[in-house]
Amino acid sequence: MSEPFSIPLEQMRRMVKPTPKGRPLDPVAVEEVQALLGRMPRRPDLLIECLHLLQDTYRAVHARHLAALAAELKMSQAEVYEVATFYHHFDVLREGEGAPAELTVRVCDTLSCKMAGADDLLKKLPGILGTRVRVIPAPCVGRCEQAPVVVVGQNALGGATEADVKAAVKANESTHPLPRYVGYKAYLKAGGYQLFRDLVEGRRDVESVIQAMEHSGLRGLGGAGFPAGRKWRIVRAEAAPRLMAINIDEGEPGTFKDRWYLERDPHRFLEGMLIAAYCVGIGEVYVYLRDEYAHVRDILQKELKKLLAAPPCALPPIHLRRGAGAYICGEESAMIESIEGKRGMPRLRPPYVAQVGLFGHPTLEHNMETVFWIRDIVEKGADWFA
């Protein structure tokens, strides 16, 4: 029998390249990325947030910046590239490719908008708006009740016509105006956060709140319909540290409930989230918001800042994370992968998210609308909701 093929160790050493694999670092790109990140922690779970900074600043994600970002985060270039190319809202460019047009106009072409004339808008708008504007189709933007919808930059135009879009582009109206909503002071004045304060300060029993949730019959309103009170008990029984993840990535055609509530009463959602976190013994809360809701992100950032500046009582750390245009991230484990800075790919089960979820810890995962009803259920009684 012949000897198995082998390469002498010294020869193998000579074959190894002395330089690391991947694109050589561009010193200018490194400086640009470092300046852009500033004091942001260099952690892999913040990769998507970093990619958003690049996209927002340069209208694209250039190859030279991807290499520099990989070095900053101490990640492989291949890993950073595969995450960047997974999400629709990052325009990843090869070396030498020019950035997209100055302005991107997205025409929602999902069911409701198609029925209201989106295809006609997609056909006509490129000729009307000219070469400095990129017109592309987009999956559901969460405004099905306003079809057809065209998003100019980050400004969503409901019931859009060719004239509306042309006027918005001409006036450079690329930011959606904030709607009128119940702010922090008004919410406090109407009794907001009193229930949460009573829980934290011991005037209300945690067990009574969990029982109210169970008796109300509240089920997950993200689609799975798992009983909310039972989920609280399951996660509460797991060993600490326990985390919470709120999913506000609704991309199904016809679904716009989360946006509708947040545009009107964001603190009712935030208080419900905090009540759930306290009852389950949550250490940190992560809110995952779809990128299509830029104006809602502005609302939440603004109101969270007010809440943290003058909290009604002790609060857990709250992190607002930005999606990047991936329908699959509406699924709970895919959302958790995205929060961790990865591609939004669903995990195999078991283990379940309640046992091994975000960053490997037991995780209470809820849809935004589920926690929106918690305050009303506890204050008005389980029978009121049931």
Q: How far is the C-alpha of 276 from the C-alpha of 206, rounded, in Å?
A: 10
How many CB atoms within 10 Å of residue 44? 15
Q: What SS3 class is residue 365?
A: strand
Polymer length in residues for the chain = 386
Contact between 67 and 25 (Cβ < 8 Å): yes
- From the number of C-beta atoms within 10 Å of its C-beta (0-12, 13-18, 19+), residue 4 rates as exposed
Q: How far is the C-alpha of 128 from the C-alpha of 71, rounded, in Å?
A: 43
Nearest alpha carbon to residue 95 among 57, 65, 64, 67: 64
Contact between 80 and 49 (Cβ < 8 Å): no
Can you name the CATH fold of 184-385? Rossmann fold (3.40.50)
Q: How far is the C-alpha of 22 from the C-alpha of 30, rounded, in Å?
A: 15
Assign residue 156 a region (left: φ > 0; alpha: ψ between -120 and 50; beta: otherwise).
Answer: beta
Nearest alpha carbon to residue 245 among 275, 278, 285: 285
Question: Which CATH number, 2.20.28, 1.10.10, 1.25.40, 3.30.70, labels domain 9-93?
Answer: 1.10.10
Helix (H) or strand (E) holding 92: strand 92-93
Contact between 371 and 377 (Cβ < 8 Å): no
For the chain, the structural domain boundaries read: 9-93, 103-170, 184-385
Can you name the CATH fold of 103-170? Glutaredoxin (3.40.30)
Contact between 293 and 248 (Cβ < 8 Å): yes
Local confidence pLDDT in tens for the 386 residues of the chain: 555 556 666 665 565 555 456 789 999 999 999 999 999 999 999 999 999 999 999 999 999 999 999 999 999 999 999 999 999 999 999 888 887 889 999 999 999 999 999 999 999 999 999 999 999 999 999 999 999 999 999 999 999 999 999 999 999 999 999 999 999 999 999 999 999 999 999 999 999 999 999 999 999 887 778 999 999 999 999 999 999 999 999 888 888 999 999 999 999 999 999 999 999 999 999 999 999 999 999 999 999 999 999 999 999 999 999 999 999 999 999 999 999 999 999 999 999 999 999 999 999 999 999 999 999 999 999 999 98
Q: What SS3 class is residue 98?
A: coil
